[in-house]
Amino acid sequence: MSLLVSTQFTTLAPASESGNNIYHPYGNEYLSLIDTVTIHEMIRGFTPYSYVAARAYLVNDIVDADDLPDVVYFTDAMQQPLYIAANATMERQGELEFLLRVTPSKAGWNYGSVKDLAGKRLALVSLVRQRDGVMLPVGNVWQTDRTLRDGRDWLYENRLHFVADLTTADETFLLTFREKTEEELRIEDAKAFTGNGIHFRHMGDMLYVSGNFGEAQSIDIYDLRGLRRVHHGRLLTGQGIYTGGLPAGIYQVVVRTDNGTYKAKVLKK
C-alpha cells in the first residue's frame, strides 16, 4: 500500500498590535501556512492521456471490502470520480498480443481487472486504443501476481489491471508484450574463504547463490553502505532468496557458513 498526501493552504493577514501594523512573515501575501493535511490510500499512479495534469493517482477513499479505488487525484489539484468497469475480457490474438475489451459502468475514469493470460513471463510494451490507433501510456495497464486481502493471507493470482477515461460505449485496446529477459546480478567484487568460488544467479524475483559453503548457511543483504539490512534468512541448498521487493541498485551480500564468511557487492538491474 502507498500513501498520497494532499494539503490545503491558508494565507494569514498581517498582525497588528495597539493599532500599529507589525510586520510578521505569516502576513506576507507570498507566504502561506498549511491548513490541513489529508492522507489517502493510493492504489496506483499513472499518466493520464490528453489531460493537462502530468500524473494522476488512483485512490481508495471510501472503505469497501475489496479495497478498490474510487477517486482519481491529479497533480494539478483536481480530482474526479472513478468507476468500476461493468465488464472486461482479455483475449489472445497471438503469442505476444492480446485484446482487452472494456464495458464502462459510467462515462469517465473506469478501473477494472481481469485474469492475466500473459502471466509473469511476459511484460507489456505497448497499449493501443483500437478505434483510433492512439498509443496510450503503458502504465495505464499493469500486472500483479498476488492480491492482499484485508486481514487475510496473500492470494497468489495473476491479474491484469487497467484504468481508462471512457465514454459510455465499449472500448477495445491492443496489448503487445515481450518475453521477460532473465534479470542478472553481476558480481562487482567477491571474496571467498580459501579460494572457494561464489556465484550469484537471478531468475525472475529469486536470487540463487551457489558454491562450496559447507553447513549452517545463512545470508544477509545490506544496502550499498552496509548500514541497513534488507534481508536476513537461511541459505538452503537449491532454494533461492526472494528479491522482488528490492529496487534496482548495488547491494552488499554476506554469506556465513561453517567454512567462513563470504562477502560480495552485487548489482541488481
113-157: pLDDT as tens digits: 999 999 888 989 999 999 999 999 999 999 998 887 666 677 889
Taking alpha carbons only, the member of 3, 107, 21, 12 closest to residue 57 is 3
Residue 22 amino acid letter: I
Sign of CA dihedral 112, 113, 117, 121: positive
Residues 6+ apart with CB under 8 A from 44: 57, 58, 69, 142, 161, 163
Question: Across the chain, what does the average pLDDT equal?
Answer: 79
Spatial CB neighbours of 28, under 8 Å, sequence gap ≥ 6 = none
195-211 per-position pLDDT tens digit: 345 677 766 677 777 76
Answer yes or no: are the C-beta atoms of 222 and 230 closer than 8 Å. yes
- Give the largest Cα separation in the chain, rounded: 84
Residue-range domains of the chain with CATH: 2-82 (no CATH), 87-179 (2.60.40), 185-268 (2.60.40.3080)
The arithmetic mean of pLDDT across residues 104-110, rounded, is: 96
Lowest mean pLDDT among 14-23, 80-89, 95-104: 14-23
